[in-house]
Amino acid sequence: MTLIIALIAAGFILLFAEIFLPGLIAGIIGVLCLLASVVVTAIFYGPMPLCLIGLIGFLFWMRFFPGSPFGRRLSLQGISGEAPKIEPHKDLTGQIGNTVTALRPSGTALFHNKRHDVISECSHIDANQTVKVVKVEGSRILVRKI
């Protein structure tokens, strides 16, 4: 039993030391110590204690890790919810502008010296035509030839 405890302690100490020591040597030896403790436990006591220890360790981890300072730094903190609906082109409804490209049925139109991607109400509008914004749905701007 003391061998198992010594292997576990050495494994955790070496894994902790790996944070400060370069080269991965301490980490690899620490993992090997922990694996050796699992093998020794399975040889002397069978697989049942390993399952019980694993279950208890997992439950302990799930209960206390998220509330620990390290766990709080690793997890997202914030309120989840619905994002506010933003309609960036709402003020364009009813505005008059000119097409920059031909609309077949989508293209580019100019409103207040600013280019916008638009969709024509009919199938085709040539370039340099006057259009009016009929409807705005989110980022979709529907126009009609005047």
Q: What percent of the chain has pLDDT over 70?
A: 94
CATH classification code of 90-145: 2.40.50.140
Domain with CATH 2.40.50.140 in the chain: 90-145
Mean of pLDDT values over 100-120 = 93
Distances (CA, A) of 18 to 22, 110, 113: 7, 61, 60
Q: Which helix (H) or strand (E) covers residue 42, if one does?
A: helix 25-45
pLDDT given for residue 73 in this prediction? 83
pLDDT at 50 over 90: no
Q: What is the pLDDT of residue 83?
A: 67
Residue 108: pLDDT band (50, 70, 90) is: very high
For 18-32, write each residue's pLDDT tens digit: 988 888 899 999 999
Q: What's the mean pLDDT when you consider all of the chain? A: 88
Q: What is the CA radius of gyration of the chain?
A: 33
User: 2-17 and 25-45 helices cross at what angle (nearest 10)?
Assistant: 160
* pLDDT tens-digit readout, 69-106: 888 888 877 766 676 666 677 788 899 999 999 999 99
Whether residue 52 is predicted with pLDDT greater than 70 in this model: the reply is yes
Other CB atoms within 10 Å distance of the CB of residue 93? 14
